[in-house]
Structures are given as C-alpha cells and as structure tokens.
C-alpha cells in the first residue's frame, strides 16, 4: 500500500502496554519506517513522545494522531492513513470493534494483544468476509496470548515428519505479575461466559472446516505427566483455539492433528492453589460489586514495576509426536505479560509491514499470516525457540 502516509500507527500508546510497545518501536523500527502514535489524550501522547525522544532524539517530531473508539470518523482516519495499525486498547470486547471494523473496511492490516475469545469470535463473524474482500489481515492475540503457543507448535512440527497424524502438548509456566488491563480483560471474560459460548457457536456455524483433514483440541483432567515431569492442569485460554485455527488453515499440520494446552507446575500444592485462585476469580466476576472491588485492586494503566518485570520469565514446553518420532521443544523468554508481549506485538506489526509473508487475508493467526518470518524476528529479539531432544520409537 504505497499510498499510505504511515507504515505503522500505534493506537492506545498511553496505556501501560502501549508505552512499552512505543518504547520498543522507538528502538527497533527501521530507519525508513514512517510511524505515529494515536490516542484520545493529546497531553498524554506528548508525554509518551517525550519519553521516546530520550531513546531517539530524531523522534521529536513523531506524529501524534487524535483518535477515540467512540468517534467512528477518527477510527476510519487512522485506518485510511496506515498500512498496519497496532491496538493496545482493552478490554477489547468493550473497546476493540470500531478499529477492527475500520481496518477491515480500509484494507489495513491490524494486530492486537487480546486474549478474549468472545471478542475474537465476534470479530470473525462481523468482519472476516469484509477483510477478505479488501485484503486486510486481521491478526489478534499477538502477545503472550497466543504467540508462544501458536508459533511454538509450528516450530515443533518443523522437527516432525510431514503428512502423518501428529499430536502436540503445550505446557506453560511463568512467575509474572499482573496489570490493571490484564485483570480487567480476565474479569470481563469471566463475567460473560454465556456470551462467549454464544459467540463461539455463531463462529462455528459459518467457519469452514479443515478440508478433509481432522483437527481437534482436547486436554486431560489435572494429572501428573511422567514424560513431562510436571503436574498439568488444562488452561482455559484462547491459545488452543488459535492453534486449532492455524492447524485447520495449514496443510503442514497433517491429516489428523491434536493439541492439548496446560499450565504446568512441579508441585501439587501449586496446582491446587492455582485452580482455587482461578475459581475464586471466576466466581467474583459474576457479582458486580465484587468485580468492581477486584478491578480497584489493580487500577487500569498500572502494572508491575521494571524491577518486578526484570525478575519475571516464562517457559512454554512442547512434546510433539508423529510418525514414530517424539520431540521436546521450548519457547522461553522474560516477563511475558508486558516486556515480551510488547516485543511480540511490535515485531508482529513490523513483520506485516516489511516481511515477504504468505498471501492471505481476513482474520488469520500469527502462524498463518507471518509464520517463520515472525519466529525469526522473535529469535533475533531474544526469545528462544529450542529443540531440546528427539526420541525415535
């Protein structure tokens, strides 16, 4: 799209993750990249730009665009002027659709960091066909939700035989903290369980199947896995849905593909406490006064300190089996929710803007839209994709 004014526009640049993403872009965009910050508060945008000038003095004149999700014209203006738009404005089910609609209509590529299944499904139903017609690539979940799982499975399959049934299990461990935005998104999703189920059913009715191939996701109840060496608990996140959609779209996943997604812990008490904590959070989300109280504990726009983030890390381990071969792989990085998420989000946008990616359009996953190009970018940025060992039966 050579007629566009900007290669990238970051919308929501003044939020906690938005600022981290802006700082990452300031350090890593190519010299030729034309980019801008967008948001509804001019003063706060100027404050973010001042922080970026410390990183790169050439950003003194970085453009600032006034935009608000309640103003349809401003969303359309961003979409018309950019090749790729990054959105960090959540909860997405409340604030995300106007920008998705504008990008789909304008043929503008779009990335976000949502982990909200209802939002992703509703955007597919409402805007996928428009995006296919205009050529827009709408790529949700470009952060810790769900890049390590999506690209980790693709990486694992790269070390397994092709054209045969394959099974992959993913196991997530992290010691990260929580931000107000993440808590708000989680509570919103928990409080809308019935609407999430309805949105998923609507999507399933219109989404094409895997063209004669079998693709499924399933997970066992909590158990100890001797092969992995962990206690495993099914993790009810967006990740397995994204992996399944990648598998349905790409022949590389084989004629019969299965994926199971778990939280992993070394000790049983950790499993019990984790399950209890999620259960209490889910129960509290159903009661409006309790939900508001929980939201007040970690206000929006705030998150872990730099010291806390520097001490945080994540590991996504995978066991893949196909054609008599078993491989053990891992995706590993630093603080997943913010430091690495902002990196993943920014590199996803840069990949859409500048890499020679497969031709595709509509709502697609990172594995489908960018695949190995994004994996290479993330490895260069310090996220490790490792093959630990291979066993042959």
Quick: pLDDT tens for 210-268. 778 999 999 899 899 999 999 999 988 899 999 999 999 999 999 999 999 999 988 87
Q: Using 50, 70 and 90 to split pLDDT, how confident is the model at 289? A: confident
> How does DSSP classify residue 236?
-
Q: Vertex 168, ends 166 and 171: CA angle to 5°?
A: 175
**pLDDT given at position 1:** 54
Q: Is the pLDDT of residue 86 over 80?
A: yes
Pairwise CA distance, residues 87 & 357, whole Å: 21
**pLDDT given at position 69:** 95
pTM over 0.85, yes/no: yes
Q: Using 50, 70 and 90 to split pLDDT, how confident is the model at 138? A: very high
Mean pLDDT, range 373-383, rounded to an integer: 98
- 382: left (phi > 0), else alpha (psi -120 to 50), else beta? left
Q: Using 50, 70 and 90 to split pLDDT, how confident is the model at 203? A: very high
> How does DSSP classify residue 32?
T
Mean pLDDT, range 111-138, rounded to an integer: 97
Pairwise CA distance, residues 316 & 148, whole Å: 7
Computed on alpha carbons and rounded to an integer, the radius of gyration of the chain in Å comes to 20
Q: Using 50, 70 and 90 to split pLDDT, how confident is the model at 176? A: confident
**pLDDT given at position 309:** 83
Cβ burial of 348 (10 Å; 0-12, 13-18, 19+) is buried
Two tokens at 93? 């089910």
Sheet bearing 6-11, strands edge to edge: 64-66, 35-39, 6-11, 82-87, 109-112, 137-139, 362-363
Cα dihedral across residues 45, 46, 51, 57: positive or negative? positive
Report yes or no: 298 and 178 within 8 Å, Cβ to Cβ: yes
**pLDDT given at position 299:** 60
**pLDDT given at position 331:** 98
Q: Is the pLDDT of residue 374 over 80?
A: yes
- Sequence-distant (≥ 6) Cβ neighbours of residue 277 within 8 angstroms: none
3-state secondary structure of 348: helix
Two tokens at 273? 């406490």
Report yes or no: 337 and 144 within 8 Å, Cβ to Cβ: yes
List alpha helices for the chain, DSSP H: 16-28, 42-55, 72-81, 92-95, 97-106, 117-134, 147-157, 180-191, 193-206, 239-249, 268-285, 288-297, 306-310, 339-354, 366-369, 372-380
Mean pLDDT, range 167-175, rounded to an integer: 94
Pairwise CA distance, residues 313 & 358, whole Å: 31
Report yes or no: 239 and 217 within 8 Å, Cβ to Cβ: no
Report yes or no: 171 and 219 within 8 Å, Cβ to Cβ: no
Pairwise CA distance, residues 133 & 208, whole Å: 17
Pairwise CA distance, residues 90 & 12, whole Å: 9
CA distances from 56 to 42, 50, 85, 214, 392 (A): 20, 10, 22, 50, 51
Mean pLDDT, range 330-350, rounded to an integer: 95
């Amino acid at each position: 799209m050579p007629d566009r004014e900007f290669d990238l526009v970051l919308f929501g640049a003044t939020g906690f993750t938005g600022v981290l993403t802006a700082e990452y872009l300031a350090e890593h965009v190519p010299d030729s990249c034309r980019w801008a910050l967008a948001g509804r508060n001019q003063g706060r945008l100027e404050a973010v730009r001042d922080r970026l000038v410390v990183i790169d003095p050439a950003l003194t004149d970085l453009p600032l665009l006034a935009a608000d999700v309640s103003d349809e014209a401003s969303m359309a203006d961003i979409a018309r002027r950019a090749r790729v738009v990054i959105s960090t404005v959540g909860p997405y089910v409340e604030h995300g659709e106007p920008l998705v609609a504008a990008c789909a209509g304008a043929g503008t590529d779009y990335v976000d960091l949502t982990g909200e299944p209802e939002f992703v499904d509703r955007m597919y139903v409402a805007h996928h066909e428009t995006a296919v017609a205009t050529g827009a690539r709408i790529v949700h979940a470009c952060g810790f939700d769900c890049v390590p799982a999506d690209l980790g499975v693709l990486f694992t399959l790269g070390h397994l035989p092709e054209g045969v049934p394959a099974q992959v299990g993913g196991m997530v461990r992290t010691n990260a903290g929580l931000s107000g935005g993440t808590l708000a998104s989680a509570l919103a999703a928990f409080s809308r369980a019935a609407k999430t189920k309805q949105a998923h059913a609507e999507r399933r009715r219109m989404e094409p199947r895997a063209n004669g191939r079998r693709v499924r996701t399933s997970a066992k109840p909590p158990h100890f896995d001797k092969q992995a060496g962990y206690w495993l608990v099914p993790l009810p996140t967006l990740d397995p849905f994204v992996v399944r959609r990648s598998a349905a779209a790409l022949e590389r996943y084989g004629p019969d593909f299965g994926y199971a997604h778990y939280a992993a812990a070394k000790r049983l008490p950790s499993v019990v406490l984790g399950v209890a904590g999620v259960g209490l959070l889910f129960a509290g989300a159903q009661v409006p006064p309790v939900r508001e109280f929980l939201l007040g504990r970690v206000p929006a726009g705030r998150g872990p300190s730099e010291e806390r983030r520097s001490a945080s890390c994540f590991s996504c381990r995978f066991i893949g089996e196909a054609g008599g071969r078993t491989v053990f792989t891992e995706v590993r990085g630093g603080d997943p929710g913010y430091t690495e998420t902002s990196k993943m989000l920014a590199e996803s946008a840069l990949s859409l803007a500048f890499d020679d990616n497969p031709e595709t359009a509509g709502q697609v996953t990172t594995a489908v839209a960018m695949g190995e190009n994004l994996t290479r970018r993330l490895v260069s940025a310090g996220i490790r994709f490792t093959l630990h060992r291979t066993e042959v039966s």
